[in-house]
Amino acid sequence: MKRLFIIYQGRVQGVGFRYFVYRAAYIMKLTGHVRNMDNGNVEVEVQGPDDHISVFLDTVKGGNGYSRIENYSMKEIPVKPNEKSFDITY
């Protein structure tokens, strides 16, 4: 089990990217959140089994056909043991 903090840069706002990330996390049974940032980037915190997170990362990197990830940064952060869902936050 691990938790990652990820910032995606590129064409990631106004193209359905948050919902795409949400669906990928839901399918993989991951927890956390996704939100737009004021600077045009998208922030994701995602938590779950290592193998599920690997599939999630590959899926998100592939995009939804409208988004284009130009760069991203990622770091491991402490797990939130009582978290139950993945949410789109505003």
Domains in the chain, number: 1
Catalytic, out of 23, 35, 36, 64 = 36
User: Under DSSP, is residue 28 helix (H, G, I), strand (E, B) or coil?
Assistant: coil
pLDDT at 12: 98
Please confirm, yes or no, whether 36 is among the known catalytic residues: yes
Catalytic, out of 18, 35, 39, 82 = 18
Considering the chain, what percentage of its residues have pLDDT values greater than 90?
99
Q: How many CB atoms lie within 10 A of CB 58?
A: 10
Considering the chain, what percentage of its residues have pLDDT values greater than 70?
100
- The CATH code of the domain that includes 44 is 3.30.70.100
Please confirm, yes or no, whether 11 is among the known catalytic residues: no
Nearest to 70 by CA among 27, 17, 4: 17
Q: Is the pLDDT of residue 90 over 90?
A: no
Question: In this structure, which long-range contacts are made by residues 49-54, counting pairs with CB atoms below 8 Å and at least 24 apart in sequence?
Answer: 49/1, 50/1, 50/2, 52/28, 53/2, 53/4, 53/28
What is the average per-residue pLDDT within 10-19?
97
What is the average per-residue pLDDT within 52-69?
96
Structural domain containing residue 10: 2-89
Q: What is the pLDDT of residues 15-57, one digit of tens each?
A: 999 999 999 999 999 999 999 999 999 999 999 999 999 999 9
User: Under DSSP, is residue 27 helix (H, G, I), strand (E, B) or coil?
Assistant: helix
